[in-house]
Amino acid sequence: MTLALAFDGMLALALFWSAWRTLSTPRLDRAIILFIAFGLLMTVAWARLSAPDIGLAEAAIGAGLTGALILDAYGALHRRKERQEEA
């Protein structure tokens, strides 16, 4: 019982920390990685709340698909900026 409570407390702290760091980091690439990590932590939180269907959706859509799309958009933005600096 106390081990599960300690795990839940650490999970809640990790969620708050990753959310705060995602919003406060000055570097966009780090914010994207922290966003993906937040989504994976939310997956664990949903599993602990006995909602595996929502946890699977969070992992697939929130951390997986959305994270990949944001990383791709960041890569395209970075390539565009490099081409403008060359010209």
Task: List, for residues 34-80, the tens digit of each pLDDT value.
Answer: 999 999 999 999 999 999 999 999 999 988 899 999 999 999 999 99
Cα dihedral sign, 38-39-44-46: positive
Is the predicted pLDDT of residue 87 greater than 80, yes or no? no
How many helices (DSSP H) and strands (DSSP E) are in the chain?
A: 4, 0
For the segment 79-86, the average pLDDT, to the nearest whole number, is 89
* Res 44: pLDDT: 95
Q: At 55, give phi and psi (nearest 5°).
A: -65, -40
* Res 66: pLDDT: 93
Quote the CA–CA distance of 25 and 2 in Å, as a whole number: 34
